[in-house]
Amino acid sequence: MDANNYYLEIKLSISEIKKEIWDEFNKKNNNPFYEWYWIKNLEKSNTVTRETGWQPLYFLAYRKAKKELCAIAPLFLKNHSYGEFIFDQSFARLAQDLNLNYYPKLIGMSPYSPIEGYQFLYEENLNRDKITSFLIDNIENFAKRNNILSCNFLYVDDNWSNYLEKLGYHDWVNIRSEWISQSEKSFDDYLLRFNSNQRRNIKRERKSITNKNIHIKTLTGININEEILKDMHFFYEQHCLKWGIWGSKYLTSDFFKNSIENKENLLIFSAYENNSNEPIAMSMCVKNNKNLWGRYWGCNSEIDNLHFELCYYKPIEWAIANNIERFDPGAGGKQKRRRGFYAKSTKSFHKWFNNGMENIISDWLKKTNKITLDEIEIENNSIPFIK
């Protein structure tokens, strides 16, 4: 098909796109962070808006002949770098040195979620090469017309990244964490991966929680209500406030409240002291039939090892019991290696519409990517598994 067979529209809200069409295009991706309800909640709750620096821009490709929507490119126009968890401050400084405006920039990702799997959404059996090129051409033309310096796709799906490589985008390797099932039947089976010293350490950390008379409830689906989500927002907010201006408090109370509409994808671990019904800490994960993602956590007071229990050990225990294949515990933290999370590479793809900027960064990326891959190997060799 020729590109002339398509035409483009840009929508400023996902509510302008029919949920049924979005879900149909997205069904094979099996990723909760790109479901219509998830992104709609981000917009509806005023978490993702022009005012928060995340202006939605949905590039829609239609067939001219039938005026049928056939592909969607979800992007956001941003005037800052918060909520991306890929730290490009050095790029912003370089732009300043070159007397260029780094912001606004175009970003493709699920806002505030460093979750691998970004790609365009397509009608089934569509020629993806042609329609992807059509969309990218229009996205880049939009950027150039509006003096936007760069287009950036973060946490890109491994298979979909081939399209970006063909179209001249530069990859930037970063590090994420991942637990991978080895078909264990219990948490004790999982501990057999570790050397004897680390097995003792993990057992000691878990035992310290029960010794404090702390018990933990696992809440899914029907057990999750608005009151629990209100508590989860409180703990999330408290955790963010501890870090002051670096607290990354991005999500509104309405986001948690509205999540009741999609509670079948939620998994909450709630900790209680003695016989109290008032939670002292919570963590929230997102799940599907194969994957688990750790997202938010918080506590009333600092209790040794409670973070490890709610954010690592209980989710792994649940993952084993429910035949989950992979668990992504969230951004950051080399302490995850000692709990059995592998360091994994994740790629973002970038293009700068200024030759000077493009040439300097592309040369730097070749060197830094090699360093990062070496670091991943070193980190994984440090995991205290049985050799």
Pairing of strands 279-287, 291-299: antiparallel
Residue 231 placed within a domain: yes
How many alpha carbons fall within 13 Å on the CB side of residue 29?
25
The confidence score (pLDDT) of residue 3 equals 65
Which of 29-33, 122-126, 241-245, 328-332 is predicted least confidently?
Answer: 241-245
In terms of Cα–Cα distance, which of 154, 113, 124 is closest to 23?
124
Query: Both tokens of residue 76?
Result: 């956001």
Q: How much is the average pLDDT of 246-268?
A: 91
Q: Are residues 187 and 169 in the same domain?
A: no
CA distances from 290 to 40, 259, 298, 323, 331 (A): 24, 21, 26, 7, 20
Percentage of the chain modeled with pLDDT above 90: 90
Q: What is the pLDDT of residues 203-223, one digit of tens each?
A: 999 999 999 999 999 999 999
Q: Are residues 95 and 239 in the same domain?
A: no
Residue 194 placed within a domain: yes
Pairing of strands 150-153, 105-108: parallel
Q: Are residues 166 and 69 in the same domain?
A: yes
Q: Are residues 188 and 75 in the same domain?
A: no
Q: Could you give the residue ranges of the DSSP H alpha helices within 128-225?
A: 128-145, 161-166, 187-191, 196-211
Q: Are residues 154 and 197 in the same domain?
A: no
Q: Are residues 362 and 215 in the same domain?
A: no
DSSP string over 298-364: EESS--TTHHHIIIIIHHHHHHHHTT--EEE--S--GGGGGGTPEEEEEEEEEEESSHHHHHHHHHH
Query: Both tokens of residue 113?
Result: 């979620």
Residue 270 placed within a domain: yes
Q: Are residues 245 and 303 in the same domain?
A: yes
Q: Are residues 293 and 349 in the same domain?
A: no
Q: Are residues 91 and 31 in the same domain?
A: yes
Report how far residue 48's alpha carbon sits from residue 27's, in angstroms, rounded to the nearest whole number: 23
Q: How much is the average pLDDT of 342-352?
A: 97
Q: What is the CATH number of the domain that holds 45?
A: 3.40.630.30
For residue 387, pLDDT over 80 is answered with: no
How far is residue 129 CA from its own chain's centroid? 26
Residue 338 placed within a domain: no
Residue 339 placed within a domain: no
Residue 329 placed within a domain: no
Domains held by the chain: number: 2
Q: Name the residue range of residue 21's domain.
A: 3-176+345-381
Q: Are residues 224 and 96 in the same domain?
A: no
| Amino acid identity for residue 330 in this structure | G
Residue 386 placed within a domain: no
The whole model's pTM is what?
A: 0.95
The C-alpha R_g of the chain, in whole angstroms, comes to: 22
For residue 45, pLDDT over 70 is answered with: yes
Residue 335 placed within a domain: no
Reduced DSSP (H G I as helix, E B as strand, rest coil) percent helix, strand, coil of the chain, to 5: 40, 25, 30
Report how far residue 198's alpha carbon sits from residue 337's, in angstroms, rounded to the nearest whole number: 11
Q: Are residues 147 and 192 in the same domain?
A: no
Q: Are residues 276 and 355 in the same domain?
A: no
For residue 244, pLDDT over 70 is answered with: no
In terms of Cα–Cα distance, which of 260, 293, 282, 221 is closest to 32?
293
